[in-house]
Structure 1
Amino acid sequence: MEYVIVKWLHILSSTFLFGTGIGSAWYLLFAVISRNVAAIAVVTRIVVIADWLFTGTTMIAQPATGFYLIHLAGYPMHSAWIMYSIGLFVLAALCWFPVVWLQMRLRDLSAAAASAGTPLPPAFWRYFKGWIILGIPAFFAFLGVFYLMVAKPM
């Protein structure tokens, strides 16, 4: 039963991780496309909270439950699919850390612009471009991890 519970926690946390990421990206992207500064300020504030609350905790839960599942199932740690999964997860994490920083800058800049009734400053657009550039490899890295978790190719 322990294996089933740990696997359930692993799948549940991966759902929160990927779901929060894709949902946050969707809402932030379309808020920015709207160019409504007040809406952008609200969405970026909520995205930062969601990222810390859901993504942050699952970035810890995923490897913890994953390594424990490897142990419980008796998979060799050096299996190619495990090594690729770890590599892709690390790539996504390396993208996520600066993305969180960028989101906090986007939040602060949009809140200041909304308060002052001014357009978004050029720095906002530079940070937003970086957010997109880092989000793309993280998205595809997680798709790869999902495939490897399910297929476990030997």
Structure 2
Amino acid sequence: MDYLVVKWLHILSSTFLFGTGIGSAWYMLFANISRDVRAIAVVSRYVVVADWLFTATTIIAQPTTGFYMIHLAGFPMHSRWIAWSLVLYLIAAACWVPVVWLQMRLRDLSREAAGTGAPLPPAYWKYFRAWVILGIPAFFAFVAIFWLMVAKPT
């Protein structure tokens, strides 16, 4: 496959990965700020769907296209910018795995509360806090990766 095509796929998938993350975080955060249990239930359901549809697929596409571009371009694997990118990507992925579980719990708890007309249980807010805390390092890891990919510092 041509380098330009692989690069385009890499950039496209990074856009889906980062964009889905930012969009999901935005809508989930503001649905929760509203405290409207029905809105939270709807948003959390779609956040889970988006995560599986976009994030899960692009989290595979990113290293696949990235390693192939490294090969095609002849970049040495021991380049510091590549090593740092991989470390940051692993940090972001390590945050994402528990976030997926947390989002499913948030979806289930909010759906149950909305269905019964009950307020969200304390466990919901505990999971939500963990979701926010894990999202912060993942966000900054991806911002740093974008910079490393563009600058390729020596």
Shorter-chain TM-score bucket reads: over 0.9
Letter in 2 for 1:60: I
Q: In the alignment, which residue of structure 2 is the partner of 1:105?
A: 105
Q: CA deviation at 1:142?
A: 0.2
Gapped runs of 5+ residues in structure 2?
Answer: none
Q: Can you list the C-alpha shifts for 1:114-151, whole angstroms capped at 9, x where unaligned?
A: 00000000000000000000000000000000000000
**Rounded Cα–Cα distance in structure 2 between residues aligned with 1:133 and 1:94:** 13
Which secondary structure does the structure 1 equivalent of 2:83 belong to? helix
Residue of structure 2 equivalent to 1:15: 15
Deviation at 1:152, TM superposition (A): 0.3
Give me the whole-angstrom Cα distance separating, in 2, the residues matched to 1:59 and 1:22: 15
The CA deviation at 1:30 is 0.1
Give the counterpart letter for 1:25 in structure 2.
A
Residues 66-124 of structure 1 show CA distances to partners (whole Å, capped at 9, x for unaligned) of 00000000000000000000000000000000000000000000000000000000000
| Residue in 1 that maps onto 2:125 | 125
| Deviation (angstroms), 1:2 | 0.3
Alpha-carbon distance between aligned partners in 2 of 1:64 and 1:87, rounded to the nearest angstrom: 16
Cα distance between partner residues in 2 of 1:89 and 1:147: 13
Corresponding letter in the other structure for 1:107:
R
The corresponding residue for 1:61 is 61
Task: Find the aligned partners of 2:89 and 2:142 in 1 and give their Cα distance.
Answer: 7
CA distance in 2, matches of 1:151, 1:51: 28
In 2, Cα distance between equivalents of 1:128 and 1:23: 16
Structure 1 unaligned blocks of 5 or more: none
Counterpart of 1:20 in 2: which secondary structure?
helix
Question: Sequence identity of aligned pairs in percent?
Answer: 74
Map of 1:48 onto structure 2: 48
Partner residue, 2:32: 32
Moved over 3 A (4+): none
2:139 aligned partner: 139
Q: In 2, Cα distance between the equivalents of 1:141 and 1:22?
A: 13
Shift of 1:44: 0.2
Cα distance in 1 for partners of 2:21, 2:38 equals: 22
For 1:135, the aligned partner's letter is: G
- Secondary structure in 2 matching 1:25: helix
TM-score (norm 1): 0.99
Superposed CA RMSD in Å reads 0.6
